[in-house]
Amino acid sequence: MDGEPATKKTRLVHKTIIYDESVPNQWLDEPPLEVWDHKIIPLLSLRDLALSRTVCTFFEAYWQEKISNNVLPLRVGNDVATIGGVMGVIEILSSRREYTKINPFVVLLGKGDHQITSTWTTSGGTEYLTTLNISRSNITFLGTGKDTTTILGGFRIENLENITFKNMTVTNTNVYGNGIRMGNAKVELFDVALKGCIRNALSISSSSSKSTLVATRCEFANSFRGAYVSGSLTSATFNNCVFNDNKDDGIYGWASTIHLHGESTAIHSNREYGVIAVRSGKVFIHLPSNHNTSYNNGDEDRYTAYGGTITNVED
């Protein structure tokens, strides 16, 4: 009512949290879990929280609860200095809890360039410089956007499943440099640009078991070849993806099965062929035959040989 003195007990409501200013040091004495979840934890890295475990029993219990529920992502630049240190941490934490497709290990990659300095060496002794060998399944690499997060180097993924990349650019300019090289693996890409690679932006090798790739709103550009997809047990699905300005072909399908979906699909301005299907490889274009899917390539926009087929399918 007008004229009544202001009460000393002021209640502030934020989301589901109610703070009572009349209680001294409320944040320090009994911090509600909502305060930690929404205010404090976002400011801490996984490493910060781990180092706080010895402060008091609360931190230890909180750490154990967050680790068991898999809500602490690994921040490159905070928890590990560079992307090269990621797999070492993942190896340790994977021995303590199980990560799954639904609850993967999440690696946060901030704005800027992230240089890969490691080398992957094949059994035959060939060295792939600036290539990070991923050694565990169920990992999601999350950037801030194709224009803001850039990986300088490439990834090798073999005998793994549920590896996901989102919101980043990957470029590998070293000898034998592929953006992503995979085999016997299951990989998903969302809003990823693989470009500027000396070899293939994407390379899927023949394997003894099923390999699958699903790419959505991705670019495969300015490399030797946009996508090399091989193997009778290999299936690659591209949703609204673009393959352009590569020195050789946009898509090369060797004995594999490839699906192209989405009105924004475009294969253009590649120096050689647009899309190739050879050795009984099959390319299914899930678009009307009048859709301008492959165009302005240096050689044929569509090329088949040795039993390969390219077919428009109207779903």
Per-residue DSSP letters for 256-313?
-EEEEESTT-EEE--SS-SEEEETT-EEEEES-TTS--EES-SS-SEEEETT-EEEE-
Task: Write the class of the CATH domain 81-312.
Answer: mainly beta
User: What are the sequence ranges of the domains in the chain?
Assistant: 81-312
Count of other CB atoms within 10 angstroms of residue 70: 17
- How is residue 237 written in tokens? 């699905």
Strand partners, 28: none
Is the model more confident about 30 or about 45? 45
What is the Cα–Cα distance from 196 to 115, expressed in whole angstroms?
15
HSE, CB side, 13 Å, CA atoms: give it for residue 99: 25
> Structure pTM?
0.85
The pLDDT tens digits of the residues spanning 137-161 come to 999 999 999 999 999 999 999 999 9
The pLDDT tens digits of the residues spanning 151-190 come to 999 999 999 999 999 999 999 999 889 999 999 999 999 9
Question: What is the pLDDT confidence band of residue 23, given thresholds at 50, 70 and 90?
Answer: low
- How is residue 230 written in tokens? 């091989």
Which residue's structure tokens are 């301005």? 269
Section 114-131 average pLDDT:
90
* The predicted structure's pLDDT at residue 28: 46
